[in-house]
Amino acid sequence: MLCRVADSLFWMSRYIERAENTVRLVDVTLQTLLESESQDPETSYIHWSAILASLGDLELFESLDLPQTSQSVTEFLSFNRENPSSVFNCIAHARENARMIRDQISSEMWETINRLYLYLKKTDPNEVCGDIDFEFFETIKQYSLLFQGITETTFPHKLGYEFISCGLYIERADKTCRILDAKRYMPMPENEDQAAVGAAQWSAILKGCSAFDAYHQEFVDEVRGPSVRAFLMLSREFPRSVLYCLRRLQGAIHAISGCPITHFQNEAERRLGMLISRLNYATAADLERSSAKRLLSDIEDELAAIAIEISDLYMFSEIVDPALEVVES
């Protein structure tokens, strides 16, 4: 397989997953703020600034001198052309990668990406962000899920499929970590039942990962932080948990190299194997608040290093940080 094709398949998949997860993060944040008694803009922006920082977008947002409101941040993360990681720009990047390998993917895959891009182009940001149109966020998520289903059923499960899987599972594991990490920034209003507020916030995180129903199939008690962390980080069956994503990623990169999972023959496989072992042997103490913060941060760093190793090995090009890219409208 050509390096260029592998690179485009990897990034096409990763950008679509990134757009979906950004939408999930915005959706969760807006739902949480709406449920909070405190609606003053200053408190809301404290919340948003932490979210922007976790995405690496805070400096850019503040440099654009935009109003520090929920509407402005939602527009920045969803539509802003000057934000290279906005949903619009991620989909534009995905479409451009798909266009370059249009003869290598199914017509249904191309048509789905193209329809999503055209939908975003004709959507008015003011209508979505002004009154907060939650249907918009659902539409993006449904397009992403549709694309994944079409890929699963129309794209040959050969070498190219493994590069698509690499992009998808690296991005999904990273964003599940970031959505979980967002909890520590959520405001806890004074003079309220903090247990009830905390449960509502954890429920919002589960819903942001489409994990609310699956969680209650495994945990019959009330929604609690340690249980949610355990479920979203360590579940071997739930498709958005970090451990599940890492195991699927491991299957993909070993399928590409031909090396058995019990061994490793490159740095990406070695680092990923160690990361999976760390999660496999995680204890309850590892999922407590401060320990979990360090663990999530370490996973994000390792995923970035593994992505670079994969790029160096098979794409022979320097991995590009999307935050440094610019999309022409």
Q: CA–CA distance from 33 to each of 46, 48, 67, 185, 263 (Å)?
A: 11, 10, 17, 12, 47
The answer to whether 91 touches 97, Cβ cutoff 8 Å, is no
Please tell me the predicted confidence (pLDDT) of residue 296: 93
Look at the block and give the residue holding tokens 């149109």: 133
Please tell me the predicted confidence (pLDDT) of residue 30: 86
Please tell me the predicted confidence (pLDDT) of residue 41: 73
Please tell me the predicted confidence (pLDDT) of residue 323: 44
Please tell me the predicted confidence (pLDDT) of residue 31: 80
Please tell me the predicted confidence (pLDDT) of residue 38: 59
**Largest distance between two CA atoms of the chain:** 61
Please tell me the predicted confidence (pLDDT) of residue 224: 87
Please tell me the predicted confidence (pLDDT) of residue 317: 60
Q: Which residues contact 128 (CB under 8 A, 6 or more apart)?
A: 74, 75, 78, 79, 136
Q: How far apart are CA 156 and CA 1, in angstroms?
A: 14
CA nearest to 131, candidates 59, 222, 30: 30
Q: Model pTM? A: 0.90
Please tell me the predicted confidence (pLDDT) of residue 191: 57
Please tell me the predicted confidence (pLDDT) of residue 320: 56
Q: How far apart are CA 179 and CA 220, in angstroms?
A: 23
Please tell me the predicted confidence (pLDDT) of residue 207: 85
In the chain, which stretches have pLDDT less than 70? 1, 36-39, 187-194, 316-329
Please tell me the predicted confidence (pLDDT) of residue 184: 74
Q: CA–CA distance from 188 to each of 110, 171, 191, 198, 218 (Å)?
A: 44, 29, 9, 8, 27
Phi, psi (rounded to 5 degrees) for 319: -65, 135
The answer to whether 208 touches 183, Cβ cutoff 8 Å, is no
Please tell me the predicted confidence (pLDDT) of residue 326: 42
Please tell me the predicted confidence (pLDDT) of residue 327: 41
Look at the block and give the residue holding tokens 């200053």: 42
3-state secondary structure the chain: CCHHHHHHHHHHHHHHHHHHHHHHHHHHHHHHHHHCCCCCHHHHHHHHHHHHHHHCCHHHHHHCCCCCCHHHHHHHHHCCCCCCCCHHHHHHHHHHHHHHCCCCCCHHHHHHHHHHHHHHHHCCHHHHHHCCCHHHHHHHHHHHHHHHHHHHHHCCCCHHHHHHHHHHHHHHHHHHHHHHHHHHHCCCCCCCCHHHHHHHHHHHHHHHCCCHHHHHHHCCCCCCHHHHHHHHHHCCCCCCCHHHHHHHHHHHHHHHHCCCCCCCCCHHHHHHHHHHHHHHCCCHHHHCHHHHHHHHHHHHHHHHHHHHHHHHHHHCCCCCCHHHCCCCC
Helix axes 70-78, 41-55, angle to 10 degrees: 20
Please tell me the predicted confidence (pLDDT) of residue 192: 58
Please tell me the predicted confidence (pLDDT) of residue 1: 64
The answer to whether 122 touches 5, Cβ cutoff 8 Å, is no
